[in-house]
Amino acid sequence: MNTAAASPSTRPSLGVALITGASSGIGAVYADRLARRGYDLVLVARDGARLSALAGRLQREAGVQAEVLQADLTDRADLARVEQRLQADARITLLVNNAGMAVSGTLATADIDAVERMIALNVLAPTRLAAAAAKAFAARKAGTLVNIASVLALVPEMFSGTYSGTKAYVLNLTRSLQQELGPQGVRVQAVMPGATRTEIWDRSGTPLHHLPQAMLMDVDALVDAALAGLDQGEAVTIPSLEAVHEWNALEDARRALGPFLSLQQPATRYTRAPAAAA
Ligand SMILES: NC(=O)c1ccc[n+]([C@@H]2O[C@H](COP(=O)([O-])OP(=O)(O)OC[C@H]3O[C@@H](n4cnc5c(N)ncnc54)[C@H](OP(=O)(O)O)[C@@H]3O)[C@@H](O)[C@H]2O)c1
């Protein structure tokens, strides 16, 4: 991670950002960047020692308050503690729903218990945390929710279907929350990283060096682009996509299907009599 120094902040706090999965990778860089913007932090993950080291560094370097909230988000009691914090702490203005894991392999060959843990971490946890934040932010008519999805939401053929499915869920949830919470003054952004140089790859059993370098983004560049997308008011940020019109065209095509997806009658191709055999 690039830890280029910034002088301790004298800016007023922007409130508190609660970041899940802050002990490494994307979450740790969000913590760094948000601290330098003037947010106080609540850092969530399992590895308390790593979180404490990061919190200490950011307190020294950025002059913010940084608290460690050690939690295994696949554990219902730990998850409930984080939800309660989101509901009870009115200083929290930003939730980065980032903690996640991947499991390599086909459905038939993957460790199915690991797949279940992944669904708990990538789907259930961000859902419950988003719900807690949605209630709190909507009541205050302010707040920002950032959900870390993945470009694999769009291309399930490129990795495991289960991981891709969890990220498609995050994208769909985000799209729906934007409609639900936007009118109540709450910003919601989906971030869709492509392959990014973090520990997730080695942890999932797909070594980073197996990936073509041209596909791999450095984590600092990824988070800086995601925050630039947030600043620009983007609903969905795809950091590596230059041709943003391609994404907009896909969205337009998806929305154009809307009026035709639920009708009283089946399409005529399903009701025509089969052609007689020659
Ligand atoms: N890197 C990529 O190529 C890529 C691409 C697209 C999307 N993403 C998404 O980006 C997000 C961050 O991943 P990353 O790439 O930064 O990977 P990472 O470096 O492995 O970070 C994952 C974070 O999640 C935390 N975590 C894992 N299991 C947890 C659990 N049971 N409870 C609480 N926290 C847990 C980890 O901390 P502890 O181990 O300390 O708990 C760590 O802080 C994930 O949602 C991932 O799906 C990554």
Residues 6+ apart with CB under 8 A from 265: 271
Question: What sign does the dihedral 58-237-46-90 (CA atoms) show?
Answer: positive
Q: What is the mean pLDDT of the chain?
A: 94
Residue 226's CB: how many other CB atoms inside 10 A? 26
Assess whether the C-beta atom of 218 lies below 6 angstroms from ligand 1.
no
Under the banding of pLDDT at 50, 70 and 90, the label for residue 3 is very low
The predicted pLDDT at position 88 comes to: 97
163 is catalytic: yes
Q: What is the mean pLDDT of residues 134-149?
A: 98
Low-confidence winner among 5-9, 116-120, 182-186, 203-207 (lowest mean pLDDT): 5-9
**What tokens were used for 76?**
């219902």
Contact criterion met (CB below 8 Å) for 69 and 91: no
Dihedral angle at the C-alpha atoms of 11, 141, 80, 230, nearest 10 degrees?
-60
Q: What is the mean pLDDT of residues 39-45?
A: 98
If you measure from the C-alpha of residue 39 to the centroid of ligand 1, how many angstroms do you get, rounded to a whole number? 21
Low-confidence winner among 102-111, 191-200, 243-252 (lowest mean pLDDT): 102-111
* Tens-place pLDDT, residues 211-260: 999 999 999 999 999 999 999 999 999 999 999 999 999 999 999 999 99
Q: Where are the beta strands (DSSP E) in 192-270?
A: 236-237
Under the banding of pLDDT at 50, 70 and 90, the label for residue 24 is very high
The predicted pLDDT at position 44 comes to: 98
The residue extents of the domains of the chain are: 16-270
Q: Which CATH class is domain 16-270?
A: alpha beta
Amino acid (1-letter code) at residue 16:
V
pLDDT at position 70 over 90: yes
Assess whether the C-beta atom of 195 lies below 6 angstroms from ligand 1.
yes
| Percentage of the chain modeled with pLDDT above 70 | 95
Query: How far, in Å, CA of 208 to CA of 214, rounded?
Result: 12
pLDDT at position 277 over 90: no
Q: Is 128 exposed, middle or buried, given 0-12, 13-18 or 19+ CB atoms closer than 10 A?
A: middle
pLDDT at position 149 over 70: yes
pLDDT at position 125 over 60: yes
The predicted pLDDT at position 10 comes to: 56
Assess whether the C-beta atom of 47 lies below 6 angstroms from ligand 1.
yes
Q: Ligand 1 test: best mutation among 18, 19, 23, most atoms within 8 Å of CB?
A: 23
Assess whether the C-beta atom of 25 lies below 6 angstroms from ligand 1.
yes
Q: Whose alpha carbon is nearest atom 44 of ligand 1? A: 100
Query: How far, in Å, CA of 173 to CA of 152, rounded?
Result: 15
